[in-house]
Amino acid sequence: MKIAPLPHNERERLEELRKYGILDTEPEAVFNSMVQLASYICHTPFAAISLIDEHRQWFKAIVGVEVSETPRDVAFCAHTILQQETMIVPNTLEDERFCDNPFVEGGLNLRFYAGVPLVTESGYRLGTLCVFDQQPRQLSAEQLDAIKTLADSVMAHLDLRLSHREIRKYVDDLQLAASIFESASEAVLVTDPQNHIITVNPAFTAMTGYSLSEVAGKNPNILCSGKQSPAFYQRMWQSLADMGHWSGELWNKRKNGELFAEWLSINVLFNEDGSKRMYVAIFSDVTEKKQADEIIWRQANYDMLTQLPNRRLFCDRLEHEIRGAHRAGCLLALLFIDLDLFKEVNDSLGHEAGDALLVKVAERLTASVRESDTVARMGGDEFTAILPQIDSLEDVERVAALIVKALSEPFEVNGAIVNISASVGVAIYPRDAKNTTELLSQADSAMYVAKEQGRGCYRMAN
């Protein structure tokens, strides 16, 4: 084993070390979070923040093994602080400095080491942020960049402690950044500038079904559901290019093929020279919320018995169709339909039978009109039908007659044969009225004329 010599500036280095007040091994949450994140990012069982003086190596934080300090002469990090850059030992058994190190041959059987020097603004190396493994290996470029960034964060935190400026905010930020992979309910995905996945957090795996090993190096489009158009993604990427961020709702697909709605926020992180460093995407599953919103919207706009549009949605659609007819210069017909003898069905057979009859009436009305037409239930036994873009009054009369005939046919309701009829009033836009209220009033008046003239027929507004 080759023992690392003392740095040439050891006296000044030790003074710098003492200045930071970190000569103890008391645990600190910030440092613990950092080493846990380093272990997670590099997929190693061991990670530590190690500090070195002339006699010992001690740990401000360590994960994977319970040890507080070691003699300096067996410390990997004593070699690291002599170097300018990260020290990587792919296989300790093949490196004369470490092949007979007690941590290589002893119980830990360490075979891989990577350490990033913790360098002060004055250029002194206090120790390292390091990771270990029991298998020979290498770090990916992305993992190496990540632990270098974490090492910078360690020193930034120490510098802030010295100056006592904005310490609380920085600690909170560090704790949040370090713990987000473990505890955040939102899924987090990080990609390189070429949009290849670097890492994901546990919430991502829980939400999508994909582990990090399954998605690392791949494009996030493996989640695409196909429900968004190419133009959607073009707008998203344009926003990222112009403003450096984008947020919105979209549908993606889990590993098992199930579609889910998500609220997604993407931010671009930049290097000091302005080049893109990485993309960070945070998203949450809003499928249940959308389903709940859909139920609320449907309850507000549809009749729960017949599943037809209710009065609210009918008025919206009629207003929309009137505006369309005005722009196109074409006719629109509104039919007001009231069932004859419906009260007698309720009185004789009960409300359950009356409800079943209304459902069957809705089915016959829908079958009597075009797919582009709207049939709505206004309440009770009153229905309406909107016929947009009609070619002639004869077409309207044909539909009205068809409805009258369809509703005069016998119904089978709960084993009983029921006979009813319908009185239909018809109003034409713009001949009979120029707006929604007047058109509905004209159709309603025409329906009452039909009732007065014997029921089971239709009448046009005057």
Q: Are residues 222 and 316 in the same domain?
A: no
CB hemisphere CA count around 125 (13 angstroms):
24
The secondary structure of the chain in percent helix, strand, coil, rounded to multiples of 5, reads 45, 25, 30
Q: What is the CATH number of the domain that holds 124?
A: 3.30.450.40
Q: Give the pLDDT confidence of 69-101 residue by residue, as tens digits.
A: 999 999 999 999 998 899 999 999 999 898 888
Q: Confidence band (pLDDT; 50, 70, 90) for 2?
A: confident
Tell whether 196 and 171 lie within a shared domain: no
Q: Are 128 and 78 in contact (CB under 8 A)?
A: no
Residue 392 in any domain: the answer is: yes
Which residue type sits at 440? L
| Predicted confidence (pLDDT) per residue in 112-126, tens digit | 999 999 999 889 999
What is the pLDDT, as a whole number, of residue 165? Answer: 40
Cis previous bond, 430, omega within 30: yes
In which region does residue 182 sit, left (phi positive, over 0), alpha (psi from -120 to 50) or beta (all else)? Answer: alpha
Tokens, residue 388: 């947009």
Q: Taking the mean position of all CA atoms in its chain, how far away is CA 396?
A: 48
Q: Where do the H-state alpha helices sit in 216-349?
A: 230-243, 287-301, 311-328, 342-349
According to DSSP, the residues that pair with 246 across neighbouring strands are 266
The string of pLDDT tens digits covering residues 438-452 is 999 999 999 999 999
Structure-block tokens of residue 245: 């961020």
Q: What is the CATH number of the domain that holds 393?
A: 3.30.70.270
pLDDT of residue 172: 63
In this structure, the answer to whether residues 86 and 152 fall within a common structural domain is yes
Q: Which residues sit opposite 268 in a β-bridge?
A: 279
Count of all residues that appear for the chain in the document: 462
pLDDT band at 171 (very low <50, low <70, confident <90, very high): very low
Round the CA-based radius of gyration of the chain to a whole number and report it. Answer: 37
pLDDT on residue 415: 86
Determine the pLDDT at residue 179.
65
CA distances from 200 to 31, 115, 207, 223 (A): 21, 23, 11, 13
Residue pointed to by tokens 């959308």:
290
The full 3-state SS of 411-458, as one line of letters, equals: EEECCEEECCEEEEEEEEECCCCCCHHHHHHHHHHHHHHHHHCCCCCE
Residues 363 and 454 in one domain: yes
Q: Please tell me whether residues 324 and 223 are part of one structural domain.
A: no
pLDDT at residue number 173: 62
Query: Backbone phi, then psi, for 138, in 5-degree steps?
Result: -135, 170
Q: Based on the domain organization, do 336 and 454 belong to the same domain? A: yes
Same domain, 87 and 207: no
pTM, two decimal places: 0.47
Whether residues 345 and 438 fall in one domain: yes
The answer to whether residue 414 sits within a structural domain is: yes
In order, the DSSP letters of 132-146 are EESS-----HHHHHH
Beta strand 112-119 with 331-340 is: unpaired
**281 plus 165 within the same structural domain:** no
What confidence tens digit (pLDDT) does each residue in 285-344 have?
888 887 787 788 888 889 899 999 999 999 999 999 999 999 988 999 999 999 998 888
Residues 72 and 173 in one domain: yes
The first and second tokens of residue 280, run together, are: 């960070």
Which residues touch 78 (CB under 8 Å, ≥6 apart)? 3, 4, 52, 57, 72
The answer to whether 220 and 189 are in contact (CB under 8 A) is: yes
Instruction: Indicate the number of domains in the chain.
Output: 3
Q: CA-CA distance, 265 to 185, in Å (whole number)?
A: 14
Q: Is residue 345 pLDDT above 90, yes or no?
A: no
CA–CA dist 460, 462 (Å, integer): 6
pLDDT at 107 over 80: no
Where in the sequence is the domain holding 120, given as residue range(s)? 10-178
